């Protein structure tokens, strides 16, 4: 026990004091995410400012009561630049000298059309100077004003038609005759929330969970592979292997040390991501406050426990895999490129399951995905939220089995001379890949 | 009488390469025994087999009666191995490294402290022990590693080219430490070298190894007399020619 503890401690010291790991795994997520979040926040608030101060230009060619009513609506509360010109070409060149983002052209005959029950014709020109999101927002601003005006115009028209016909009724009802109230049933409880809202919350969860699992696994794998490769590169492995400690203890020390650092990395990542979410979406707090808890599909204690176990076995399996692979290399760079291949089976299920459900996929794709243990950990993460514990247990079982097999292999490799003699270099890998691509030709 | 090391008909191959080819030798307790030969002779391979890092392809090797294949754990309890290009954990301080290593051998805190005191003395690093190993020079690192290897007074000390790459002063110090441990503290030493003069000064007995075969064995004096040479270097050139 004492030996294992000192191995773990040494492992943690080595990893945490390595500036590359400290920066990449712990500091980066804590710094990068909040920075990203505030960047988004700054740009969204500039969009909002652009929308509020939306200034536009009007070139009017028409006269009449309907035109005056429209102009009065537009001039109220808005900064409007009036363009005086001879014809639209002249108006357009004059408009481009102003800093108004859009030009509204009220065409000749607008009033006549509106009074005769025809469509009033308008044209909007947007001057896209920087092709940014803020510009799109200010173009929307005039669209919003016009839609709003169109709604009241139509209500007024309906009212006068109703009056003419002597019919009883409400203009707004005529305009939209149905009222639909959407309700959802979850775990047998009817709740007064639209399913689309719930889906959007679940969506954010099911996007988040695969990303979390994936990121944590990648950290852990990099960590474990690096820690083995460093021993080889710095020539400390031989000494370590002649110490009076069982190889299994050495292996466990490596696993445990990597897990501790990976979990610290995951926590840093979560803290960083939390900042990111709150600062990026601070203009719409309801997006972050509505959680699965409010929808009564949150985690029960048992679910939390199972989710934790699931993530733990997933981590251990990735670490064992990384360690087994890294023993075949003799330096950090080749270890990292070799374990880089593990990204594929980890990313694949995460990305696929982010956008769809397993049952929606073709049978063969399902089979391939189900062989990959990481598919199970993602499915289990979702299932834990929905209280489907059987599925979670199945996943834990499968991953544990997989982990035991890999651990057995890792322990075997550790107890043979392979760990000393294996010299798989980046050069070998290039040869291997090069040969394969030659054959393909 | 039981030998500290008993190697019989040892062969080790890596694919087509025969690194050790039917070598036999014995080392008595408290002896300093040198395995000498040119680059690629098979010295490191032999020492790695005896340190339980590699498994022999055929033949046997025992250390204090324990077979390297059957009882590697028992052997690891009684040996300490200094690999030829060993390094130390860059991000630990010299002191942390030593106390990490001592922890595996010490029964209690007291004996651990004893080992550390010993190691401090041998390493001669003084205050620098508190610095990260990252900043050590080659010679400092080698002395730290030697201190690591000897501090627990193992029954058998296996040193692969203990002074390679060291300047005269550092090499002299390392040789003194080895001699002192063998003579005064009852440690058996097996070392490899291609520095014949060093071996002549240090070793009670030597084996000349070339292309995986033991080509001569005896005390430095015996060998120089037998081949009527001035020193081991001449002996080696003579024997290698014959073989
Ligand atoms: N892991 C390995 N894989 C393949 N061949 C190896 C391996 N280790 C050693 N060899 C080969 O075995 C032979 C003996 O090597 P060894 O390292 O034992 O020599 P040495 O006497 O220690 O040489 P030096 O004085 O240069 O250190 C060499 O031909 C070497 O190439
Ligand atoms: Mg060698």
The pLDDT tens digits of the residues spanning B14-72 come to 988 999 999 999 999 999 999 998 889 999 999 999 999 999 999 999 999 999 999 99
Q: Is residue A95 part of a domain?
A: yes
- The separation between CA A403 and the C-alpha centre of its own chain, rounded to angstroms, equals 29
Per-residue HEC secondary structure of chain B comes to: CCCCEEEEEEEEEECCEEEEEEEEEEECCCCEEEEECCCCCCHHHHHHHHCCCCCCCEEEEEECCEECCCCHHHHHHHEEEECCCCCCCCCCEHHHHHHHHHCCCCCCHHHHHHHHHHHHHHHCCHHHHHCEHHHCCHHHHHHHHHHHHHCCCCCEEEEECCCCCCCHHHHHHHHHHHHHHHHHHCCEEEEEECCHHHHHHHCCEEEEEECCEEEEEECHHHHHHHCCCCCHHHHHHHHHHHC
Residue nearest to atom 8 of ligand 1 (CA): B45
- For B:155-214, CB contacts with A below 8 A are none
Question: Given an 8 Å threshold on Cβ–Cβ distance, is A239 in contact with B81?
Answer: yes
Region of B209 on the Ramachandran plot (φ > 0 left; ψ -120 to 50 alpha; else beta) = beta
In a shared domain, residues A152 and A209: no
- Residue segments in chain A with a per-residue pLDDT below the cut of 50: 283-292, 296, 436-441
Q: How far is CA A255 from CA A5, A227, A329, A420, in A?
A: 12, 10, 18, 19
Which residues have CB under 6 Å of ligand 1?
A: A 421; B 14, 17, 19, 37, 39-45, 84, 194
Residue nearest to atom 27 of ligand 1 (CA): B39
Nearest residue to A62 (alpha-carbon basis) of A114, A117, A11, A23: A114
Highest mean pLDDT among A187-201, B67-81, B171-185: B67-81
Question: How far away is chain A from the Cα of B99, in angstroms, using its nearest Cα?
Answer: 10
| Burial of A126: CB neighbours in 10 Å, binned 0-12, 13-18, 19+ | middle
Whether residue B204 has pLDDT greater than 90: yes
Nearest residue to A216 (alpha-carbon basis) of A267, A272, A256: A267
In a shared domain, residues A35 and A83: no
Gyration radius of chain A's alpha carbons:
32
In a shared domain, residues A294 and A374: yes
Atom of ligand 1 nearest to the CA of B20: 14
Q: What is the pLDDT of residue A437?
A: 47
Whether residue B201 has pLDDT greater than 50: yes
Does the CA dihedral B223-B225-B226-B232 come out positive or negative? positive
Residue nearest to atom 4 of ligand 1 (CA): B14
Q: Is residue A187 part of a domain?
A: no
Q: Is residue A117 part of a domain?
A: yes
Residue B11 has which token pair?
């062969």
In a shared domain, residues A264 and A127: no
The reply to whether B86 touches chain A by the CB within 8 Å rule is yes
Q: Mean of the pLDDT values across residues B95-112?
A: 94
In a shared domain, residues A285 and A140: no
Alpha-carbon torsion angle A396, A397, A403, A405, nearest 10: -170
Q: What is the pLDDT of residue A210?
A: 66
Q: What is the pLDDT of residue A44?
A: 60
CA of B67 to the centre of ligand 1 (A): 23
Q: Is residue A188 part of a domain?
A: no
Q: How many CB atoms lie within 10 A of CB B138?
A: 12
CA of B39 to the centre of ligand 2 (A): 7
Residue B101 has which token pair?
């290593």
Alpha-carbon torsion angle A241, A245, A246, A248, nearest 10: -80
In a shared domain, residues A258 and A369: yes
Average pLDDT over all residues of chain B? 91
In a shared domain, residues A39 and A140: no
Question: Given an 8 Å threshold on Cβ–Cβ distance, is A239 in contact with B83?
Answer: yes
The reply to whether B87 touches chain A by the CB within 8 Å rule is yes
Residues 6 or more apart in contact with residue A296 via CB below 8 angstroms: A186, A187, A189, A191
Residue A342 has which token pair?
């593990």
| CATH number, domain containing residue A90 | 3.40.1710.10
| C-alpha span between A267 and A260 (Å, rounded) | 11
Contact B5, B160 (CB under 8 A): no
In a shared domain, residues A419 and A324: yes
Given A134, A169, A204, the domain boundary residue is A169
| C-alpha span between A207 and B52 (Å, rounded) | 50
Tokens 């309906």 belong to which residue? A158
In a shared domain, residues A39 and A63: no
Whether residue B93 has pLDDT greater than 90: yes
Q: How far is CA A72 from CA A129, A155, A203, A211, in A?
A: 28, 18, 44, 52
Pocket test for ligand 1, best of B10, B43, B240 (most atoms within 8 A of CB): B43
Q: Give chain A's domain count.
A: 2
| C-alpha span between B100 and B119 (Å, rounded) | 12
φ, ψ for residue B192 (rounded to 5)?
Answer: -115, 155
Residue nearest to atom 29 of ligand 1 (CA): B40
Q: What is the pLDDT of residue A326?
A: 87
Which residue range(s) make up the domain with A356? 2-43+195-432
Whether residue B91 has pLDDT greater than 60: yes
In a shared domain, residues A221 and A269: yes
Residue A270 has which token pair?
């979560």
Q: What is the pLDDT of residue A1?
A: 56
Q: What is the pLDDT of residue A441?
A: 40
Nearest residue to A326 (alpha-carbon basis) of A435, A231, A430: A231
- How far apart are the two ends of chain A, measured CA to CA in Å? 55
Question: Given an 8 Å threshold on Cβ–Cβ distance, is A10 in contact with B81?
Answer: no
How many pairs of residues across A and B have Cβ atoms under 8 Å apart? 75
In a shared domain, residues A81 and A26: no
Q: What is the pLDDT of residue A440?
A: 42
Length of chain B counted residue by residue: 243
Per-residue HEC secondary structure of chain A comes to: CHHHHHHHHHHHHHHHHCHHHHHHHHHHHHHHHHHHHHHHHHHHHHHHHHHHCCEEEEEECCCCHHHHHHHHHHHCCCEEEECCCCCHHHHHHHHHHCCCCEEEEECCCHHHHHHCCCCCCEEEEECCCCCCHHHHHHHHHHHHHHHHHHHHHHHHHHHHHHHHHCCCCCHHHHHCCCCCCCCEEECCEEECCCHHHHHHHHHHHHHHHHHHHHHHHHHHHHHHHHHHHHHHHCCCHHHHHCCCCCHHHHHHHHHHHHHHHHHHHHHHHHHHHHHHHHHHCCCCCHHHHCCCCCCCCCCCHHHHHHHHHHHHHHHHHHHHHHHHHHCCECCHHHHHHHHHCCHHHHHHHHHHHHHCCHHHCCHHHHHHHHHCHHHHHHHHHHHHHCCCHHHHHHHHHHHHHHHHHHHHHHHHHHHCCHHHHCCECHHHHHHHHHHHHHHHC
Q: Is residue A48 part of a domain?
A: no
Q: Is residue A186 part of a domain?
A: no
Question: Given an 8 Å threshold on Cβ–Cβ distance, is A14 in contact with B92?
Answer: yes
Q: Is residue A440 part of a domain?
A: no
In a shared domain, residues A296 and A356: yes
Q: Is residue A317 part of a domain?
A: yes
Alpha-carbon torsion angle A114, A116, A121, A122, nearest 10: -20
Contact A272, A32 (CB under 8 A): yes
Q: How many CB atoms lie within 10 A of CB A327?
A: 25
Q: What is the pLDDT of residue A209?
A: 63
Question: How far away is chain B from the Cα of A238, in angstroms, using its nearest Cα?
Answer: 7
Residues 6 or more apart in contact with residue A110 via CB below 8 angstroms: A62, A64, A66, A67, A70, A120, A121, A122
| C-alpha span between A43 and A22 (Å, rounded) | 30
φ, ψ for residue A308 (rounded to 5)?
Answer: -60, -45
Question: Given an 8 Å threshold on Cβ–Cβ distance, is A6 in contact with B86?
Answer: no
């Amino acid at each position: 026990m004492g030996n294992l503890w000192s191995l773990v401690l040494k492992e943690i010291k080595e990893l945490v004091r390595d500036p590359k790991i400290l920066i990449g795994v712990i500091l980066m997520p804590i710094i990068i995410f909040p920075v990203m979040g505030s960047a988004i926040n700054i740009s969204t608030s500039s969009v909002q400012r652009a929308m509020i101060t939306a200034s536009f230009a009007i070139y009017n060619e028409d006269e009449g009561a309907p035109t005056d009513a429209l102009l009065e609506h537009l001039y109220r509360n808005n900064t409007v630049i009036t363009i005086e010109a001879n014809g639209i070409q002249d108006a357009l060149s004059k408009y481009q000298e102003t800093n108004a983002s859009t030009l509204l052209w009220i065409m000749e005959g607008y009033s006549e059309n509106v009074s005769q029950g025809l469509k009033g014709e308008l044209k909007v020109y947007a001057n896209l100077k920087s092709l940014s999101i803020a510009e799109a927002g200010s173009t929307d601003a005039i669209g919003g004003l016009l839609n709003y005006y169109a709604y009241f115009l139509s209500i007024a028209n309906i009212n006068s038609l109703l009056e003419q016909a002597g019919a009883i009724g409400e203009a707004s009802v005529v305009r939209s005759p149905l009222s639909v109230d959407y309700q959802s049933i979850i775990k047998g409880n009817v709740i007064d929330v639209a399913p689309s809202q719930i889906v959007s919350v679940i969506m954010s969860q099911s996007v988040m969970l695969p990303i979390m699992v994936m990121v944590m696994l990648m950290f852990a794998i990099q960590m474990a592979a690096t820690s083995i490769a460093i021993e080889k590169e710095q020539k400390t492995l031989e000494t370590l292997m002649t110490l009076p400690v069982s190889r299994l203890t050495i292996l466990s020390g490596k696993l445990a040390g990597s897990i501790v650092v990976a979990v610290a990395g995951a926590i840093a990542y979560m803290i960083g991501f939390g900042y990111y979410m709150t600062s990026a979406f601070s203009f719409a707090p309801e997006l972050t406050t509505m959680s699965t808890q409010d929808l009564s599909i949150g985690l029960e204690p048992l679910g939390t426990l199972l989710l934790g176990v699931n993530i733990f076995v997933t981590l251990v399996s990735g670490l064992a895999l990384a360690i087994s692979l890294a023993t075949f290399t003799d330096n950090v760079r080749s270890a990292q490129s070799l374990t880089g291949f593990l990204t594929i089976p980890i990313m694949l299920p995460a990305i696929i399951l982010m956008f769809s459900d397993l049952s929606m996929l073709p049978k063969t794709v399902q089979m391939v995905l189900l062989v990959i243990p990481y598919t199970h950990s993602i499915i289990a993460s979702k299932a834990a939220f929905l209280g489907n514990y059987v599925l979670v247990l199945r996943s834990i079982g499968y991953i544990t089995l997989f982990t035991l097999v890999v651990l057995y292999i890792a322990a075997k490799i550790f107890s043979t001379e392979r760990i000393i003699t294996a010299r798989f270099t980046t050069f070998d890998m290039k040869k291997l890949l090069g040969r394969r691509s030659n054959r393909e030709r | 009488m039981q030998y500290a090391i008993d190697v019989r008909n040892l062969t080790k191959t890596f694919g087509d390469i025969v690194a050790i080819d039917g070598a036999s030798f014995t080392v008595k307790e408290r002896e300093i025994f040198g395995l000498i030969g040119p680059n690629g002779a098979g010295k490191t391979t032999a020492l790695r087999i005896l340190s339980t890092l590699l498994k022999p392809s055929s033949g046997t090797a025992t250390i204090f009666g324990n077979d390297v294949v059957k009882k590697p754990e028992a052997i690891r309890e009684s040996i300490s191995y200094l690999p030829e290009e060993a390094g130390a954990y860059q991000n630990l301080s010299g002191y942390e490294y030593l106390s990490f290593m001592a922890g595996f051998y010490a029964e209690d805190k007291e004996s651990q402290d004893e080992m550390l005191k010993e190691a401090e003395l041998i390493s001669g690093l003084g205050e620098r022990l508190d610095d990260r190993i990252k900043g050590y020079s080659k010679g400092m690192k080698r002395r730290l590693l030697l201190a690591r290897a000897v501090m627990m007074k193992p029954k058998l000390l296996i040193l692969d080219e203990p002074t390679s790459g060291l300047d005269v002063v550092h090499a002299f110090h390392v040789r003194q430490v080895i001699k002192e441990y063998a003579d005064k503290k009852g440690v058996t030493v097996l070392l490899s070298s291609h520095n014949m003069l060093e071996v002549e000064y240090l070793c009670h007995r030597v084996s000349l190894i070339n292309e995986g075969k033991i080509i001569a064995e005896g005390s430095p004096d015996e060998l120089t007399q037998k081949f009527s040479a001035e020193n081991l270097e001449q002996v080696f050139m003579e024997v290698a020619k014959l073989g």
